[in-house]
Amino acid sequence: MPRYFFNVRNHVDAHDLVGRELPSLDAAVVEAHADIVDIKRARFETLGGWTRWSIEICDDKKLLLKVVPFSPN
């Protein structure tokens, strides 16, 4: 099963060093959306302003596969 890495991007980047094994890129996108909900729920009052936030999904070679924004453009 492929391993996907979920790097959170905003004014400070947080790189996923462990990744997750998932069956497909589509499954990784679903996971990214779930992560976004969790992050917003946990940090909404202190961070806000989600327009510059995104999750970059990369493969095990660090190749960017998909960018999932925190809020629609």
Domain ranges, ordered by start, for the chain:
3-69
> Rounded CA gap, 12 and 69, in Å?
15
pLDDT confidence band for 8 (50 / 70 / 90): very high
Residue 27: pLDDT above 90? yes
20: β partners = 4
What is the predicted pLDDT for the residue at 46? Answer: 59
0.85 exceeded by the pTM?
A: yes
Tens of pLDDT along 35-70?
998 988 886 655 567 888 999 999 999 999 999 998
